[in-house]
Amino acid sequence: MRQYRPHMKCDVVVIGLGAAGLWAAREALESSKDVMVAVVDRRVGYDTYSPCALPFTLNGEVGVENVKHSLPDLPRLKKMLGREVTKLNPEERIVTIKDVATSEVRSLEYGVCVVATGSSPVLPSIRGLREALGRGATTFSTPEDAMGVLSTLERGVRRALVVGCGVVGMEVSHALSERGVEVVCADALPYPLPGVLDEDMVKMVIGHLVKEGVDIRLNTAVEEILLQGGAVSGAYLGGEEVPVEMVIVAAGARPNSHILQGLVEMEEGYVVVDERMRTTQEGIYAAGDVTAAPSPLPLGRIRTGLASVAYLQGKVAGRNAAQEVVGGNPSERYLGSVGVFAAKVGALEVAAAGLDLRSAKAADPGAFAVKMKGSSLPDYFPGGEEMTVKIIADGSGKVVGGQIVGGSGVYWRINLIARAIMEGIGVDDLSLWEMAYTPPLSDIYDPLIHAADRARARLRRRR
């Protein structure tokens, strides 16, 4: 039977303690010395963690305990872990909170609420998958998932199936392969990461994984997970029975927005926010994976699921929530996202920002792309690593997208492309950007600038 206790009060309540919630709480506390903040999350044992690091726990690059983090105990901060918000009443500004272990229910009166509830893994409709969970099959989004996989590997797993060839699927597949596991990575799509990487760039990543021993199956649906003796024994892929002893599901995520259902405007389950991170309900902000947020790209609102986006949105939401609760006017503005991301698949770095070519052409039929190969260092200097740079521009020459696959240095170059997109820079100007140079670190004619020159030349030929 549920027990009820008198309600408590706080100025700002943050629901969820991922990247967005952590930074929302931090910024709210730092923005005003008078603000009391409460954070609510059902997690127990540790405060928060770095999900993007989880694939690298499987090959020993980082320990599982190292990706867990604690929020400092502060006088104006109340951590309410092991609890979940079951109801949000925006009229009375009260949230109902249940203790996960005891089912005790309390109410919390707030001034402003920040919803940063993140996302949960998608569980595809595959026969036998739900029955296989905990018996050799798992999703992969928490430290507990990683510990479960490592425990299974210690029992001598030789063959594994990874469902989904997105970023996480690729990183997990490579990590397992490094441990000597025979890996099949299957995806029902003709090529992974549509809307993020063009097919020609994805093929480079797929080729790298195949060379590393990963069996990539595209255009191949996983139809059934097989159990024998209470454990995973195989799977049907495209009508073929494949023996596997472990299944890792990396098939995307969906927003945890149910607490706001019927209270705010949503798009396909994502919470619509403005540039202040305000929802359509007064007194409620949202940040992170749960949001559909403004973007300078011609796509309307963007949903990224990126930690780098979540923390920025959390900063804006936390600052504005603190300003509002003390009677000020929320002034912080989120600049929008161009979806810039980077991934590391073994020695290969993969990164993209903005629109892929198909999306760019849908927005502007005159859009075009150029691609070139270059080296991170001058030809005469040892240690240079090859990379392929692709720049996507609209019909006027403005940079709207970029993709890079190669060795060391990919990630910082994609950040420059992202800045060009944010600022509306054209390929003419990008080709003249000043870059730091010293032979042990870079070439005077950087591959990024070389690609911009090619785009500029193509644009001039079209005029």
**What's residue 325's pLDDT?**
93
Sign of the CA dihedral with 55 first, then 57, 61, and 67 last:
positive
Class of domain 4-120+254-325: alpha beta
Give residue-wise pLDDT tens across range 368-407.
999 999 999 999 999 999 999 999 999 999 999 999 999 9
Cα distances (angstroms) measured from residue 428 to each of 298, 337, 391, 435? 21, 23, 12, 15
- The answer to whether domain 4-120+254-325 and domain 341-457 are alike in fold is yes
**Below-50 pLDDT ranges, the chain:** 1-6
CB 56 within 8 A of CB 171: yes
pTM of the entire predicted model? 0.93
The whole-number pLDDT of residue 300 equals: 83
SS3 letters for the chain? Answer: CCCEEEEEECCEEEECCCHHHHHHHHHHHHHCCCCCEEEEECCCCCCEECHHHHHHHCCCCCCHHHHEECCCCCCCEEEEECEEEEEEECCCCEEEEEECCCCCEEEEECCEEEECCCEEECCCCCECHHHHECCCEEECCCHHHHHHHHHHHCCCCCEEEEECCCHHHHHHHHHHHHCCCEEEEECCCCCCCCCCCCHHHHHHHHHHHHHCCCEEECCCCEEEEEEECCEEEEEEECCEEECCCEEEECCCEEECCHHHCCCCCEECCEEECCCCCECCCCCEEECCCCEEECCCCCCCCECCCCHHHHHHHHHHHHHHHHHHHCCCCCCCCCCCCCCCEEEEECCEEEEEEECCHHHHHHHCCCCEEEEEEEECCCCCCCCCCEEEEEEEECCCCEEEEEEEEECCCHHHHHHHHHHHHHHCCEHHHHCCCCCCCCCCCCCCCCHHHHHHHHHHHHHHHHC
The answer to whether domain 129-251 has CATH 3.50.50.60 is yes
pLDDT reported for residue 7: 58
What is the domain partition of the chain in residue ranges? 4-120+254-325, 129-251, 341-457
How many Å apart are CA 166 and CA 186, to the nearest integer? 10
Give, in degrees to the nearest 5, the angle at Cα 306 between 247 and 220.
35
For residue 86 the two structure tokens come to: 């079951």
Roughly how many angstroms between the first and final C-alpha of the chain, as a whole number? 75
Class of 341-457 in CATH: alpha beta
Distance CA 379, CA 456 (A): 24
